[in-house]
Structure 1
Amino acid sequence: MMKPINTIIFDLGGVLIDWNPAYVFRDVFQDDEKMNWFFDNICTSDWNENQDAGYPISQATEDLVVKYPDYERLIRMYYGQWEKMLGGEIIGTVRILKSLIEDPQYKVVALTNWSSETFPIAQKRFEFLSWFEGIIVSGEEKTRKPFKEIYEITLSRFNLQPECSLFIDDNLRNIEAAQKLGINGIHFKDPDQLGESLEKFQINI
């Protein structure tokens, strides 16, 4: 028998916040194939995630400029115009969040891969980030999803039982890592799918 869920753990980017570097670079390249090549080979997701784990943005930028001097202008744009990568809130998910926050039977926290240097920008823009009982920011912890340490930090800091916790993330890799520690998971696709998935855990919104 599955134990009743008493804690919901939300990812932020891609679940509650629309974040996409294409918002900066699509106008630069005017060609999705060229833009995607840049993300696959220069400012890669692995490079960005290193900053999510606490590596200084200024140093990361200089490292890449030294490695790819022909792309210096574009590399500096990545964090120089980072704020433009933030779209709006994902309205349907924020509504679900509000419903869960207002239900006293649930503790609601967040676990996000995010640079500690840029996260304050999001906090100023999105009022709903103040609703959580707490937020684990990878850049502050110097580790990130999908490494088990950040899940263990989350469980310990909020005194959570993994089998009574439910983690929502748009990256399947991160869900699978949480499940290895006994945390229930929902691989987020869109707000409607999330609502249907919550019902399967007997969580009504």
Structure 2
Amino acid sequence: MNSSNIRHIVFDIGRVLIHYDPNLPFTRLIPDDAERDWFFANVCTHDWNIEQDRGRSWNDAEALLIAEHPEREEQIRGFRKYWHEMVPHAYVESVSIMEGLIAKGRDVTMLTNFAADTFRHAKTLFPFLTLPRGVTVSGEVGLIKPDPQIYKLHTQTFDLEPGATLFIDDSMANVEGARAAGWQAVHFTDAQTLQADLARHGIAN
């Protein structure tokens, strides 16, 4: 399918529409750089956090780590308690692009690796997340990108034609997962590049 025939645009959220950095509250909770690096490498790791994106509850996640590191209980609980500090602002230019596409009648949805409860929290912090036609949240469906099944589920849920779908994500692995699912996809780095990528796919904004 010619790229100019894109009819569906799918946005990732974290680091595309909103900033995310777990270090932000932890510079206060664990001021020492080396200790903080150790904590993220050995306690609240990426692999631990991604399981909340897959649907594990925070209560279960915290209990697992506290059993292993009881001396770190306060810091472990701080990950969820201060999560709102990890998402301090939206990327205004990216949000403006998405809002412009919606205003012009483009079919816009979102596909995100996000824990179910923190996504509900995010919608109160960033009301523009309610503007697209819908969203697939990994923590609600028990699948995470780049699992092929989550792209298939999103396609079925929102009645998308894969070849007419353009996906925007900051993770190259997720971009490649979308392409493997038959979607077109671009790697997000900044809003200016996204504008150029959209234009290259025949999408004026």
Question: For the superposition of Structure 1 and Structure 2, which TM-score range results when normalised by the shorter chain?
Answer: over 0.9
Q: In structure 1, the residue corresponding to 2:100 is in which secondary structure?
A: helix
Match of 1:152 in 2: 152
Match of 1:77 in 2: 78
**Which 5+ residue runs of structure 1 have no aligned equivalent?**
none
Query: Per-residue displacement from partner, 1:53-91 (whole Å, max 9, x unpaired)?
Result: 111110110101112223222111111211221211110
Give the Cα–Cα distance (whole angstroms) in 2 for the partners of residues 18 and 38 of structure 1.
21
- Equivalent positions of 1:17-166 (< 5 A) are 17-104=18-105, 106-166=106-166
Alignment size in residue pairs: 204
The one-letter code sitting in structure 2 at the alignment partner of 1:16 is L
Q: Structure 1's 38 and 194: CA in aligned 2 closer, same or farther, altered over 3 A?
A: same
- C-alpha displacement of 1:123: 0.8
- Equivalent positions of 1:171-186 (< 5 A) are 171-186=171-186
TM-score (norm 1): 0.95
Q: CA RMSD in A?
A: 1.3
- C-alpha displacement of 1:28: 2.6
Q: Structure 1's 32 and 8: CA in aligned 2 closer, same or farther, altered over 3 A?
A: farther
Give the Cα–Cα distance (whole angstroms) in 2 for the partners of residues 38 and 203 of structure 1.
44
- C-alpha displacement of 1:7: 0.5
Give the Cα–Cα distance (whole angstroms) in 2 for the partners of residues 82 and 112 of structure 1.
17
Give the Cα–Cα distance (whole angstroms) in 2 for the partners of residues 35 and 200 of structure 1.
42
Give the Cα–Cα distance (whole angstroms) in 2 for the partners of residues 190 and 32 of structure 1.
28
Give the Cα–Cα distance (whole angstroms) in 1 for the partners of residues 59 and 123 of structure 2.
21
Q: In structure 1, the residue corresponding to 2:111 is in which secondary structure?
A: strand
- C-alpha displacement of 1:33: 4.2
- C-alpha displacement of 1:99: 1.0
Give the Cα–Cα distance (whole angstroms) in 1 for the partners of residues 2 and 36 of structure 2.
45
Which segment is superposed worse, 12-21 or 64-73? Answer: 64-73
TM-score (norm 2): 0.95
- C-alpha displacement of 1:31: 4.1
The one-letter code sitting in structure 1 at the alignment partner of 2:110 is A
- C-alpha displacement of 1:15: 0.4
- C-alpha displacement of 1:191: 0.8
The one-letter code sitting in structure 2 at the alignment partner of 1:128 is F
**Which 5+ residue runs of structure 2 have no aligned equivalent?**
none
